[in-house]
């Protein structure tokens, strides 16, 4: 009897279909199919619910336990996966394997975050931003846990609980959320003058990043590289975004907190989904141990930076983020970073704040993620194989085979065995000598010179924004005594700074005191960091109404899109535009004016068309949109009669950053507008 292959194939197809159907069935956590997910088991249609309904009990119990403790700081974040690629071998300074040869790629997971607010706070608050990178290297995980500012508020970890308690909402009324503009923070600042340098950074626009993609990152502390011979080199880590460094201004940051509280995390997600993968260059400042004491500041002081004029940044490689997480909770929320997660070739300095973090981060993960097995979660799991004798505890998911869980042993042939000095991690053999004391080094005592360095390195518009920020923050402080003390503290940094803040608060100007006069560091100014990426990935609002000249509309959208811009046609209403406009095209997003606002965009263009221009110029919402973009220093462009909308909005045609087609062809207009949109225009 012959074999019926056609029947076999049919049976296989049916089995495959059954498996596929089973994949879509709702089950319990034990894999039992669920017949009804909308009703509890009852004794009759109107009777009491029955305790034996195991599906309902499992579902509700899991829901009741869904929340884990949020991070005390850095609670609100966004994450992404990608890779790091080394430029060249760094064997001259470190034995770290992932930096050993050009082109070597290492997978990474990055988490960006605000610091002070809760998980439900807004992205655009004035705050430091976390910049934490987990390198999944072949030698284990390396966590570079830093911020978007190179310095910190305090010098010693013993003060960290005090600082966080001061900046968090005040305990008597839990106000304000995700904000530093309140009495307890500024009371702490006036009592701890070591905060002065960091407070100038936080009052600058660095505390209001335009996006995570245009934000610098820093390791903050001084670490050590260690080479194959055991020689140590002090190192500071720097991340520099390919798109340049760009910030919001305070007015639009406040507006965005209401318009789109997820502004920064949405930007990161959408950029990666669209294929505009964010990229940063990793660089380091290297200081041989023989030069440790050559500077007029202490390398171990986390409130200080090394000016790039003294120690240039050496590029090591580039990082690209190209994949969004599949599950925010399982990956971004459960990602566990720790400053002590280092690999051979990277070691620590005696920075007292870093030393405190080496304890605190692990302690935090133990309570937040329910025990010591958090490294087994997929986002935290190293690519390197794990072999040790650590067993059991909460959430143990590894199945350990064998009867030994101790070292030394003979029953398992001595395995797992220590790797030895050639392959294992070795701490740098640095000498330690001194009396046990609770006292800071005199080299930590200068709290104002680097604050003055930052202030003197700022452009005029940056200084203006810093003064305005101090006025706003201190204006929210109820205690006049705190305001006076902070202004007096600023007088030790710069007289003009202190007087500008005092004048805005109607306080007496403080007495003149001697102030430091360090040479400016141009590398600290946003003017020097805008980059040359032009309009790439910037979001442009193209205003339109019925009667728009669809030819100029299509032309400007095409020309700017080719240059990398993301164009959105913003119309006066949600109806269709007359004519064949690209507002209907799948590649151009169409928005109604009443659903958006100028802070959501980086630049604005008004196309030609007499009826459309008339409609736009008569609409007070449109005029406010254009005027707000102009006030925030953004580029504005007009084609043909579109200049009338700018004029109706109070925008001078000849102002810096304003481009029209008067005497310009379409291509030249697009090129000039793209150049204008690359940065803000504060001179106007």
292: helix, coil or strand?
coil
Question: Is the distance from CB of 342 to CB of 142 less than 8 angstroms?
Answer: yes
With beta carbons less than 8 A apart as the criterion, state whether 578 and 643 touch.
no
Q: Which of 147, 155, 153 is nearest to 165 (CA)?
A: 153
Q: How far apart are CA 353 and CA 165, in angstroms?
A: 17
Residue 450's H or E segment, with its range, is helix 449-457
Residue from 55, 97, 141, 147 carrying the catalytic annotation: 147
Provide the pairing of β-strand 589-592 with 314-323.
unpaired
- Distance, CA of 634 to chain centre: 23
Pairing outcome for strands 223-226 and 635-638: unpaired
173 is catalytic: no
R_g of the chain computed on alpha carbons: 29
Buried (b) or exposed (e) across 497-521, using 16+ Cβ within 10 A? bbbbbbebbebeebeeeebbebebb
Question: DSSP 3-state assignment of 20?
Answer: helix
SS3 144: strand
- Which residues 6+ apart lie within 8 Å of 210 measured at CB? 246, 247, 248, 602
Distance CA 306, CA 235 (A): 10
How far is residue 130's CA from residue 166's CA, in Å, rounded to a whole number?
Answer: 19
Does residue 165 have an active-site annotation? no
H helix or E strand, kind and range, residue 612: helix 610-618
Cis omega (within 30 of 0) on the bond before 240?
no
- State the Cα–Cα distance between residues 615 and 659, nearest whole angstrom: 21
> Which residues are known catalytic residues?
74, 147
């Amino acid at each position: 009897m012959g074999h019926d292959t056609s029947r076999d194939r049919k049976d296989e197809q049916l089995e495959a279909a059954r498996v596929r159907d089973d994949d879509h069935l709702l089950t319990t956590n034990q894999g039992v199919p669920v017949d009804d997910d909308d009703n509890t088991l009852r004794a009759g249609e109107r009777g009491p619910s029955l305790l034996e309904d195991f599906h309902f009990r499992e579902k509700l119990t899991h829901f009741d336990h869904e929340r884990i403790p949020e991070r005390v700081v850095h609670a609100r974040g966004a994450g992404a996966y990608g890779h790091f690629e080394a430029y060249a071998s760094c064997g001259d300074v470190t034995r770290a394997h992932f930096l050993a040869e050009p082109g070597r790629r290492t997978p990474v997971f990055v988490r960006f975050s605000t610091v002070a607010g809760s998980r439900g706070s807004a992205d655009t608050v004035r705050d430091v931003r976390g910049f934490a990178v987990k390198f999944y290297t072949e030698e284990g995980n390396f966590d570079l846990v830093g911020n978007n500012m190179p310095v910190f508020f305090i010098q010693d970890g013993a003060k960290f609980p005090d600082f966080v308690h001061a900046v968090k909402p005040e305990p008597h009324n839990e106000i304000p959320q995700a904000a530093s503009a309140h009495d307890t923070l500024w009371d702490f600042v006036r009592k701890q003058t070591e905060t002065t340098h960091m407070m100038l950074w936080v009052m600058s626009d660095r505390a209001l990043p335009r996006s995570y993609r245009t934000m610098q990152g820093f390791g903050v502390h001084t670490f050590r590289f260690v080479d194959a011979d055991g020689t140590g080199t002090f190192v500071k880590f720097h991340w520099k975004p390919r798109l340049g460094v760009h910030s919001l201004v305070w007015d639009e940051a406040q507006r965005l907190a209401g318009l789109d509280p997820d502004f920064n995390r949405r930007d990161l997600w959408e950029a990666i989904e669209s294929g505009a993968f964010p990229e940063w260059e990793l660089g380091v400042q290297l200081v041989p141990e023989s030069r440790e004491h050559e500077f007029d500041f202490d390398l171990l002081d986390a409130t200080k930076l090394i000016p790039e004029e003294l120690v240039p940044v050496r590029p090591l490689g580039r990082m690209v983020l190209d994949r969004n997480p599949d599950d925010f909770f399982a990956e971004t929320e459960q990602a566990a970073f720790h400053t002590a997660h280092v690999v051979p070739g990277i070691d620590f300095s005696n920075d007292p704040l870093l030393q405190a973090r080496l304890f605190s981060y692990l302690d935090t993960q133990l309570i937040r993620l329910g025990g010591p097995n958090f490294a087994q979660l997929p986002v935290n799991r190293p690519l390197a194989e794990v072999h040790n004798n650590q067993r059991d505890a909460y959430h143990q998911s590894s199945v350990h085979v064998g009867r030994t869980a101790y070292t030394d042993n003979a029953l398992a042939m001595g395995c797992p065995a220590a790797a030895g000095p050639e392959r294992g991690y070795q701490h740098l053999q640095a000498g330690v000598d001194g009396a046990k004391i609770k006292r800071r080094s005199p080299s930590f005592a200068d709290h104002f010179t680097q604050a003055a360095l930052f202030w003197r390195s700022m452009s005029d518009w940056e200084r203006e924004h810093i003064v305005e920020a101090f006025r706003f923050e201190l204006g929210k402080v109820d205690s006049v005594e705190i305001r006076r003390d902070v202004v007096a503290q600023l007088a030790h940094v710069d007289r003009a700074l202190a007087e500008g803040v005092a004048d805005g608060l109607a306080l007496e100007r403080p007495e003149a005191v001697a102030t430091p006069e360090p040479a400016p560091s141009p590398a600290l100014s946003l003017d020097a960091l805008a980059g040359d990426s032009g309009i790439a990935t910037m979001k442009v609002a193209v205003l339109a109404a019925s009667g728009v000249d669809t030819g100029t509309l299509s032309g400007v959208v095409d020309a700017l899109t080719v240059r990398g811009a993301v164009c959105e046609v913003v119309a006066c209403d949600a109806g269709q535009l007359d004519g064949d406009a690209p507002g209907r095209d799948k590649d151009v997003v169409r928005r109604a004016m009443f659903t958006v606002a100028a802070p959501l965009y980086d630049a604005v263009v008004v196309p030609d068309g007499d009826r459309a221009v008339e409609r736009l110029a008569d609409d007070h919402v449109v005029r406010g949109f254009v005027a707000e973009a102009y006030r925030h220093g953004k580029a504005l462009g007009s084609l043909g009669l579109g200049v009338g909308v700018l004029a109706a909005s109070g925008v001078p045609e000849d102002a810096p950053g304003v481009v029209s087609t008067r005497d310009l062809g379409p291509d030249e207009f697009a090129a000039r507008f793209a150049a204008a949109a690359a940065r803000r225009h504060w001179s106007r």
